[in-house]
Every structure is written in structure tokens, then in C-alpha cells.
Structure 1
């Protein structure tokens, strides 16, 4: 009897193997759809391989009698090509089950593929629908607890594809499977089957995101409806555990990683699709649960995953690598957006108050691809985990910006900035080499985010938003001049002065306009919005910008650094400067430029030149500064230039007042420098060596061929405006050839307005 069973299993395996080859090629199947069910349903195999010979034989005879046409037709396939002397293991029930599940997976993949022949696809679809009617999902669910890990994994993946097929084909999900998931998720941690449910739900959500189907929202709505409440119960149970008291922490770690992946997908579905389930908002409703994991004594990689997830939520970037086509910017935030973001920001700041930064393990071996260990011959020097440094920094600066949006008290903002920025700078200081200079903490953004453009610009934008809100409140309350001076010093002391941040960014890129052009034409960063908001601020706050530039120059001069060299990267031949900057040429060029100036890559290089600014000097230089403007608006409709035209008109009318204030500030600056004994070196000499010729046809009238050699005249301000000149010229050329990806009219007007202020301030001397 055993030999009969072996022969039958060999024949069974051979039929499945031939079926697999046909489905793999996407060939059309000749038989009726019902004829294939016996060979594809694992439940029939369990019955056929029963240990009772009589029942087994009776069952097989009955099935074969019903499906005789399939057996007869498949028997005509050349069996000679199939090795009949297979090892007994190959024909075991385990191998047959694995092959059954593989055929089902390939069949569903073929159904979802646009390359499959229509008739073949229809046949596959009919077979899968019949399998679903035979309750195959219950059979696969029973395999979840199989001791064979491979069989368990393949069964879970097969079930996930079957469920996704049901959702996509608008077939109602099996009540038994829905009940299985609801029960296991609600009974966690007593029920360990919840992990399998998490994996299945995650797989289906990934398939929804990868699919190009136009009805993603409807598909997801059908799928999430039965699990909305169950996942909320699971979320509360998982994150309310006491990690220290658990005996088997590995199970909790697996549950944490699985739930975090599912949580990210659910949050991403909220951002990219217009749905409003509780499970999509669960993190925003109870962010303290996730933040608490960072304080648990778990491995560093777990904390890294959670802190990066929170960072993505604050930046509204969750799932941006999953979606094809439309991005989150095209989907307006839902009605709960502001409340939810504020809840996360408050939770982050509260956690920092409780010592969150002290629980982060930043020192240690750097993470390696494929593991944490390297060969002894290639031992790497331990260093800080820059992923955690960047994420923690963004958590704080972004949370402060969000909180301040609804904060009406300038004093409250000042207290929060002092507390949290002091904590952040203290946290960063031991991990940055060379360490931050005490006179210019504003360099922390450039230092921390030197290797991550998108995060660096997000941090710069957040710090700019904080500054604009701060000076807007100062103007609204009509603060006294002395209080304004204290606020100005406050921005330097706690590292969020927008002019310092921008100048350090430019310096870090070698003042290369192709870097800015690369950022402007790229959709991977927020540079466009940041740059527009900063240019608007620059036109209103020119005096402070010029003052900060001068202090950069003084510091560089004292450190004997040549701040102006006519090298090909900064000063080119006149003919070469007429060459057009194209997007393809600009793309990727900033990496080389930044690498050449990176402090982290050159340990022997000198520290960043610092901005030395005492309270008394700040008060003297800014005593007659114009009142701070209100917070600039965000970039909403960039292609509309009406708003820019109004702003340009207002700015032009304010230029004369700004120039007079600039003159007085410059006179005070010269008097101050003259008393220090460096009057000859730092004199501006505007009459004898003008920075900009009055007659010029270039967008900016800065010409290296006529550039002066005086230190102050070719310092930070000159190089910044030179960079703007070349950037404006490149944008002009690209726009004329219809190569710029959007309408840059408003941006060009802002650059032109900056040029006007610069020229008027020079002509005044």
C-alpha cells in the first residue's frame, strides 16, 4: 500500500510541475477550470494522503473519476522528459504543498500582470475564484502554526495574494479570515498569532501601494473597514507593555518591527489617499506610545527605526517611497491635520523635557550593510550614528515650528527656544568633530546634515519659520528697540538665525550656483519654498544680512583664511561663464562641490569660520534697524506672479528707507573696526573701488574681471550676490529654451529685487 501511495504522489507531483511550467509562461489552459482544483487545493492533498488506506483509495478514485478529462489530457504530456526516479523526498507531501502554493502565487501574479494574454488571464481568474469558494483561506490559515517555517512563510504569502486578489476584484473577504484577524489582534499579547495577521495586512497594503489601479482609495476602504477597531486595540496593548518585565523580549521586538511597518503604511495611506479611518490616525491620536519605545532598553536599530518614523510623520513624508505617481503634495491635508501635527509636536517636546535625548545611544560601531560586524582587517573607527543625530535634531526643530504656529506669546516662544535648543545643542556637541564654535551655534544645521540634503533643507526651513514667527510677534506687540536687539542676539545664541544658516549653506557648497539650480529643479527637497521665503526675508532684512556678512569676513580675516580666490569654481573666464547651465549638467554637481568643503571628510581642515558678535556690538549695529516684518506666507501657487508683483512694488518703495538705514549701520561698523587697529585692512573704500559697475547689461552687474582685491569688498556678501547673478542667468537661459520645469517668473523677480537693493546700497556711498 505504501508503494501505491508513493506512485500516486509522484504522478501528482508531475502533473503539478507541468501545470507550473505552463502558468509560469502565461500559457492558456485547455481544461475546464474545475478540473484543476484537485491539484491546487492543499486540503485535497491532506485527505488523499490519509493514513487510512481504504478512505484514501476511495477518495482518490472518486476524485479521479470526476476529473478524468484532466488526467487523460495531462497524461498525453510527454512524461519521458520527467525523471521518474525522483528521490522520495521530492515527492513528499511537503514538497507537493510548496509547489501547490507556488502555482497559486504565480497564477495570481499572472492575473495582475498586463502582459498576460486575455484568455489565459480569464482562465486563471476562474480557477482562483473556485479555489476561494472551497475555503482555501481557512486551510492556509491553519498552516500559520506549522513547525516548518518555510511552509508557514509560503502559506502566508499565498494567503496575502489571495486576499489582495479578492480586494482588487471587489470580492467580499471571507468571514472566517476576518474573524481570525480580529480575534488574534484583540487578544494580543496572549495570542501570538497576531504576528501573522500583521504580516498579512502589511503585505496587502504594500500591494495596494504598488498597484497602478486608479481605485486605490476604494480598494483600501473595503479592506480596512473590518480591522479599524481591532488594530486600535492591538496598538494599545502592544505599546502599553512593560518591556523590562517580559521574559522573551525577542517576541516583543518582532511585534514592534511588524507593527511599525504596518503603522507606517496606514499613515502613508492617510497622506496619499483620502480616507479617514481611526487606524490611519492612531499614531497621531496617541503619539506618546511610540515615543515611549525610544526610551525602552531595546537594541539601537529598533530606536533608529522608530525615531525615523516619527521624523517622517512630522515632515509629512511617510510612504513617499511607496507611492507611484501622485505624491503627498497633491493631496490636501484632511480636517484633522493641524490638530494631529500639534499633538505629535507637543508629545515630542514633552518627551525631550523628560530626558528623551539622554536615552539615545549615538556612540558605537557605525551600521554596516548586511550586519553590524566587519572583518578584523577592515575594522572601522567607532563614530556617532548620524541617522539618529539628524532625526533627533529634526524632531526638535520641527516640533518647535509646529507649536509656534498657534502660539501668540513671544515670551513663551523665547522660553521654549532657550530650553529645547539648549538641550539640542548640548546633545549634539560631543558628537561633532571639530566641535561647534561657541560664538556661532548656527552652524549646527550644516554640520549635522552635511550628508543629507533633504533633511538639511527641512531643518533650514523650520528654523526660518521659527524666526519669521518670532519677529512677526515682536512687530505685532510693538516691542521696544532694546527688546528687538535681545531677540536678534537670541537667534545667534540658540542657532536659528536665518542669515547665518543660509550663508553657511552657501559656503558649504562653495557658492556654486549649479548646486542651487539642482535644488530648484529637483522635487526631492523643499528648497524652492525655503529659497523663496528667504529671499523675501532678505529684501526686508538687508541690514542684518550685510552686518552678518561683515562679521563672517572679519573672522575669516583674523584666522588668515583667503576668502576670495579666482578659481574656476568661483571665477571663470568670461566666455566660459556664458555657457548654459542645463538641468542635466547641474544634476549631481553639488555632491562634488560639497565633498570638497566637507569638514567631516577633512579632519585636518580648520573649523568653520565663526561669527563673533557681542551683545554690545549687535545693539549698536542694529539700533536703527527697520522694524521686523511679519511672517512670510508659504509658497502656495508658485506659477502665479501676481503676489510677487505686489511685493516687488512694496519692496521698491521701501528701498530708500532701507538704504539710509544701511548707510548708518555701515558707518557705525567702520567706526567700530577703526578702533580695533585694523582700519586699513577692513576699510570698504566704496568710492575708489566700487563693487558693481553702474553700467551693465548682466542680470547682476558683478564682474570678476573688475572685482576688487579688498577683503571686505569680496567677502560673503559679494560671493552671495555673485552666486545669485549666475543662478539668475542660468534660469533665464533655461526658461527661454523651455527647459525649466516650472514658471520661474516670481523667483526671478525676487532675485532681481535683491540685486536692486544691493546696487542701491552701493551707489549710496
Structure 2
């Protein structure tokens, strides 16, 4: 190659960059372009400049730029800087510009927006570059450079070159494979390991991003040389003790990089249906990753580990990359169920050994651009709810998976009680407001109130546990007393599905539009959870109404703030304001009726009020709160008259015992209220005194008589379902619902029929 000065090199590379960035067809000779992009060319250009100018400057040690030079980002942003004096240029800057041009060129090749003629020219240049020089060896040699930018750019560029080879069905570079195998066979504290892991990770990401249909074949060609090497690295990395490392920052960086690679490997197993041993490493030896949580390491690393394991249990690994459909005609994974069970067992064993006690859940301040609070900044102490949610889901989901293969009812009950007790003990000190002791089912909305997808995953898992135990108990327990004890067991361990669903409804103010938004959205598992609950509700009306009565009693007793804690705020989706949403909880256990009290409600037909005597005055305190409008106004102008809801006026002939009791409670408490009857001031203790003048038995009678009135929880639930059913039917009529809701509507209509039968007995 003819020697060329650095100044001319910058000018040529700058012109290439501008044209490739715009996606225009290059008129230059392909071989010349390949030579200019070769990493070895930068050394020759630098040497040529040095000799021609009679300078003793033979390049900057370690490849670092001189203090007077600008960064590569400046080169990209200001093309005029390319025509700088040769004395201010260096091989470092030329290399960065070469790497940038290569990356943009390959990105253009992979993009569907690039014109075919330009794409073919770029493809020809990259192939010449790969054949004419050992570009992979040149790039891997940059990994040991003490400068941070050059190795980073080299790793990104190398990943694209590797994927280009895979895409074009070219043989992978033997030198690059040997480099990776050497550095990953035994873990060291070298920076080469980090950049090697980064390169491998980026190749898999490119595989996911590519819309091509040969992803599985590409992945097979890529993973075959590394299947055994990944296992060796996994064993050597996690077998070392954290205290033995001299530079803990390097081990943390390696760990974070390797966890990202493991997540992508598992994602390829799920979404691309490929089968390699390296994709099963976590499931074959889960204790290795779980032990990281016990290391004396920073809290954010432990959080990363526990979130990673949570994603694996929920099969949500790589969900931000995997948007396409699963390849057809792929073989099923024969080890998947066994691996999931092994992971669940390992998690439960780790909990037995004190995993939760090793977690740091003290909230750390969020610091933009740093990890320390600036002087004068206030640090509000609090719990790390991300970790709390992840730990909770780990235990619940592990129990669900374990119970699927467990045949003994007694064993399941013992395990459930032991681990739920461990979890609730772990959660109680960190929950604000406090967790009531009389209804532990409230722990779930308190922990997951800020994360809808995790909350519904937890609720669905607890329902699966409940259904599993219900079926087994029905076959083994025949005595009524034993069944009542089992029902009490569901409340003591915080997994009763009716309580959980009612707490969820109250948190959203019984707003059917929120349920509709959940049903339309694909970001959560609400549809699956909701259908399962409706099917359960058809079978357990008596249990549902008993719990509704309990909710009504406790609300009467504590006057909205049932647990004596501040109500949660329900966010208005269309404004910046927020209204307090009524949250069901419980007061003192000794003053509340037992879940399986002998004084259980009489048959429903004996306690139902007739239609004529039901009040039409809407109870502002207990009526469904329209705390948020629908995200879309589904009512059209032509249907507005038919579909509008009539507002009922007060019936002067009717006096509700429930209304009188509410007034007495308000007078007793003496709390100021707004016109809607909502207490806008948060409070930290029960509004209803423990030594109430109203006996519990009186409150039970009031709640029983008003269970179907407009003030009752059951009425609010039924009305919410009715509004939801109407909204779905309107959307279906206009072909606006995203899927076929026929089965869902059938369930809602069945629920409505059962409720109406209870309200109007023959």
C-alpha cells in the first residue's frame, strides 16, 4: 500500500463517513475503500507522517490521544475538524474514525431502508476488508488498550463484523474464536474478558433485532464453538470468592456483563427455540448466581441478580428485544419443565438458608449522573420496593412451580405456611402504611401498588396455588370443620383470591374503565388472571359474599380507613391531581368477625333486600369512584343517548340502616369531609375507636342487610362488571376490540345472572 499522510487519510475517511451516513452509493474503488478501513492502515499513515515530517513522534503510548486533540465525537459532529494539521493527528483518532465508518456501513447493510445498489457496494467493501487483512486480530488487540473509548468501539465494531459473517454465511474467524476461548476458559481480572463478553452479547442482540427468518440457523452457527467454553467460564467465575479479588470494580463489571449474556442465552432458548447446554447453565447450577446475593457487594449488584432470576422464573428474559413470533416447526424443549422446577427448588432452599436476610432493601437515593448525594441534597429514607417486589415474586412463583409437581396436600400446606410466613416477616418492617394483622392478604397491593405487571403476575401465581390446594382439599377433606380451617389458612397466609381481587378493585376505585384498559393492553397478564378469577367466582359465591360482608363491616368500623393507615392515592390518568382511593384493610382482629365464625351469614336468600326496598340514593362514600376517565372515549355521538347512565335521585320513602350507621360513625369520629364524603387528609390511626359504642354484632347485621345495597362491596363489584360488559360490547359492535371477547362476555353475563338471581330470589 502506498504511504499516505495522516491529513489526507482524515480527508478520505471523512468523505466516506459522510456518504455512508446518508446511505448514498460510493463511487470510490471498493478495494481502496477496504484498504482505508483496515486497522493496520492507521499505523502506516501515522508512520508515513512521522517520517515525512522528520518528527520523532512515533505515536502516543497506549494509543492515547494527545491532550491537544479532539475526541471522536467532535470528528463526527464537525467535519471541518478532519482537515486539521498532521502534527495534531494521531493513529488513535484515525482508528476511531475507521471503526465509526465500519459500524455505520454494516448498519446500513442490515437496514431495510438502504437502497439496494448502495447496500451491494457496502457489502462488497466489507467482504474485501475481511479477506484482505486479519481485521479480527487487529480489533481484539485493542482490548488491552488502557484507553476506554477505543476498546469499547473495537468491541462494538467486532460484534457487527461477526454478525455480518454469520448473515453472509461466511466462516467465523479462527483467531477471534481462539481469543474468546482462551479468555473465557478461566476467569481472570483482565479487561479482555469484559470486552469479549460485550462482543458476544452484542452479536446475540443483533440476531434478535434482525427481521430475517434464519435466526435459529444463525444462532446455531454462532453458539456451537462456545457451548463448552461458556460452561467453563460459568463454573470458574462463580467458584471464586469475592474477597479474593484485588480490584472489585472489575469483578462487578464482569458480573454485570455475564448476567446480561446469560439472560440473552436464556431468551434465545425461549424465543428462538434453540437447544444448547450454555442456555441451561442457570438452571443446572442455580446456586452459583443465588450465592452472589450473599457476597459483600453493593446493593445494586444484588438487585441485578434477583431481578435476573425473577425474569427467568416469569419467562420474561429478553422481552425488550423479542418482539417477533416464535419460529415455526421447531422441536419442543424437553428439559424446560425440569429446569424450571430445579430453579424453583434452589430458590426455596436459599430462602431456607437465609436468602431474604442477605438482601439489602434500604432505599438508596436516585442520583442522576453519579452515585452520591450532592451537598445540601435531602435523602428520604425508604425501602427499595424494586427488591421487595422481586423477592416476593421469587418465592410466590417458586411455590407455584413446585406445587405443580407436588402430590401431597399436607406437604404443600406446610411449605406454603413456612415460606409465606418468612416472606411476610421480611416485608412487614418495610411496608408503609403498616400491614394489618387481621387480613394479611393486603400485603400484595401494598408491595406491588407501583408495578402493575408484577402485581398481576403475583396475583395469578397465588390464584394458581389456591386452585391447586382447593382441588386437592376437595378430594381429601370431607368434614366441614376441616374445610373451614383451610379457608382460614388462605387468609392467615395472605393468598385468598377474593380478598386480593377486592383489594385490587378498591385500589382502582371500582372503575370499569381501568379494567378495560388492562384488558386491551398486552403489557400485563390481566386477561388470563381475570378469566381465571371469573371462573373461580362462579363456584365460590358464598365465600365471595362472606368476604364482601367482612369488607363492609371493617369499613363501617374504621370509616374508610379500615386498617388505620393512610389510604393509597389513585392516580387520575388525565390530570395531575389525585384522589384518595378507598383501600380495604382491617382493624383490630379481636374486634372483627372471624373469617370462619360460627355466626356466618344465613343463606343469601334470607338476607337479600327486595328491589322495592333497596335504596336508590347513591352512597358517595362507597359508590364506585370515577377516579380516572377512559383512555379513549368509546361512546359515539349516535349512541350517547342510549348508552348514557341515568342518575337516580333520592328516594324519600327509604331510610337505609347503613346510612344511619355511617352517619353515627362520622359523628363519632368527628372527621372533616369534603362534599363527596371522601377524607382527603391522610391519617395514621383508625378513625373508628377500638372501644366503639356500636357492637360488632350490630355492624355485622348492618353489613348483612346492605350486602346488595349501593353501599356494599358486592354491589360495587357487580356494577363494575356490568359497566365493563357494556363497554366491551360497544367496542365489539364497532370492531374496535383487539381480540375476540366472546368467551369473556359469556363469563361476565353468567356472573351478572347469578348476582341478579341473588338480588331477586323467586
TM-score by length of 1: 0.79
Q: What's 1:677 paired with? A: none
Contact 1:551 1:612 (8 Å CA) reproduced: no
In structure 2, the residue matched to 1:718 is 715
SS in 2 for 1:544: helix
Q: Which residue of 2 aligns with 1:450?
A: 449
Bigger shift: residues 448-457 or 609-618: 609-618
The structure-2 alpha-carbon separation of the partners of 1:562 and 1:225, relative to structure 1 and needing over 3 Å to count, comes to closer
Paired position in structure 2 for 1:300: 299
Instruction: Answer with 81-90 or 491-500: which moved more.
Output: 81-90
In structure 2, what is the equivalent of residue 287 of structure 1?
286
Is 2:647 aligned against 1:689? no
Flag the 1:562–1:124 CA change in 2: closer, same or farther, 3 A: closer
Q: Which residue of 1 aligns with 2:34?
A: 37
The within-5 A match list for 1:176-575 is: 176-189=175-188, 193-326=192-325, 334-561=333-560
The residue number in structure 2 matching 1:11 is: 8
Q: In terms of mean alpha carbon deviation, does 43-52 or 536-545 score higher?
A: 43-52
Q: Give the aligned partner of residue 156 of structure 1.
A: 155
Task: Evaluate the alpha carbon distance shift between residue 512 and residue 368 of structure 1 in structure 2; reply closer, same or farther with a 3 A threshold.
Answer: farther
Q: 1:745 aligns with which of 724, 742, 745?
A: 742
Give the direction of change, closer, same or farther, for the CA distance of 1:84–1:289 in structure 2 (3 Å limit). Answer: closer
What is the Cα deviation at residue 224 of structure 1?
A: 1.1
The superposition leaves residues 360-413 of structure 1 with CA deviations (integer Å, 9 ceiling, x where unpaired) of: 111142334434434445414111111001111111111111111111111111
CA drift of 1:15 comes to 2.3
Distance 1:422 1:84 in 2: 67
How far 1:293 moved relative to its partner?
0.8
CA pair 663-42 structure 1, distance change in 2 beyond 3 A = same
Relative to structure 1, is the Cα distance of residues 89 and 445 closer, same or farther in structure 2, using a 3 angstrom cutoff? farther
CA distance, structure 2, for counterparts of residue 149 and residue 340 of structure 1: 39
User: What are structure 1's unaligned runs of at least 5 residues?
Assistant: 58-80, 564-587, 600-605, 623-661, 671-683, 693-697
Secondary structure of the equivalent of 2:598? helix
**Cα-to-partner distance string for 1:403-460 (whole Å, 9 max, x where unaligned):** 1111111111111111110111111101111210000010011111111111111111
Q: Relative to structure 2, which stretch is displaced further, 181-190 or 291-300?
A: 181-190
Residue 703 to residue 144, structure 1, CA distance change in 2 (3 Å): same
Counterpart of 1:64 in structure 2 is none
User: Are the counterparts in 2 of residues 621 and 665 from structure 1 also a CA contact under 8 Å?
Assistant: no
Going from structure 1 to structure 2, the CA distance change for 1:27 and 1:42 (only over 3 Å counts) comes to same
Distance 2:349 2:82 in 1: 70
**How far off its partner does 1:205 sit?**
1.1
Q: CA deviation at 1:26?
A: 2.3
The aligned counterpart of 1:608 is: 585
* Counterpart residue number, 2:97: 99
1:664 to 597, 603, 607: 603
Paired residues of 1:389 and 1:428 also in contact (CA < 8 A): yes
Q: Do the aligned residues in 2 keep the contact of 1:728 with 1:748 (CA within 8 Å)?
A: yes
SS in 1 for 2:104: helix
Cα drift, residue 274 of structure 1? 1.3
C-alpha contact 2:534 2:747 (8 A) present in aligned 1: yes
The root-mean-square deviation of aligned C-alpha atoms, in Å, is: 3.4
Q: What residue is the counterpart of 2:568 in the other structure?
A: none
Cα deviation, residue 333, structure 1? 6.4
Deviation of residue 354 (structure 1)?
0.5
* Stretch moving more, 492-501 or 288-297: 288-297
The structure-2 alpha-carbon separation of the partners of 1:608 and 1:515, relative to structure 1 and needing over 3 Å to count, comes to same
CA distance in 1, matches of 2:739, 2:329: 16
Alpha-carbon spacing, 1:191–1:152, altered in 2? closer, same or farther (3 Å): closer
- Counterpart residue number, 1:603: none
Judge which range, 703-712 or 287-296, deviates more: 703-712
Q: Give the SS at the match of 1:620.
A: coil
The Cα shift of 1:310 comes to 0.8
Change (3 A) 1:407 1:329: farther
Asked whether the equivalents of residues 434 and 607 of structure 1 are also in contact (C-alpha less than 8 Å), the reply is: no
The answer for the alignment partner of 1:759 in structure 2 is 756
Q: Aligned equivalents of 1:501 and 1:748: distance in 2?
A: 22
Residue 366 of structure 1 aligns to a residue in which SS?
Answer: coil
CA–CA separation in structure 2 for the residues paired with 1:261 and 1:328? 23
Match of 1:596, SS state, is strand
Conserved 8 A contact 1:29-1:123: yes
Taking a change above 3 Å as real, the CA distance of residues 464 and 367 of structure 1, as seen in their structure-2 partners, is same
Task: Tell me what 1:628 maps to.
Answer: none
2:438–2:586 Cα contact (<8 Å) kept = no
**2:572–2:579 Cα contact (<8 Å) kept:** no
CA distances 1:585-639 after superposition (whole Å, capped 9, x unpaired): xxx966979953469xxxxxx98345959796605267xxxxxxxxxxxxxxxxx
What's the counterpart of residue 130 of structure 2?
132
Instruction: Tell me how far apart the structure 1 counterparts of residues 588 and 386 of structure 2 sit (CA, whole Å).
Output: 28
1:596 equivalent among 540, 565, 579: 579
Residues 610 and 543 from structure 1, CA distance in 2 versus in 1: closer, same or farther, beyond 3 angstroms? farther
Contact preservation (8 Å) 2:216, 2:272: yes
Instruction: State the match for 2:684 in structure 1.
Output: none
Deviation at 1:147, TM superposition (A): 2.3
> Following the alignment from structure 2 to structure 1, what is the Cα–Cα distance between the partners of residues 264 and 531?
32
Name the SS for the 2:750 alignment partner: helix
Work out the CA distance in 2 between the residues paired with 1:100 and 1:511. Answer: 60
Structure 2 gaps of 5+ residues are 55-78, 563-570, 617-641, 659-705
Distance change in 2, residues 1:149/1:562 (3 Å): closer
User: How far did residue 294 of structure 1 move?
Assistant: 1.1
Tell me the distance in 2 between the aligned counterparts of 1:619 and 1:306: 45
CA contact (8 A) 1:508 1:597 kept: no
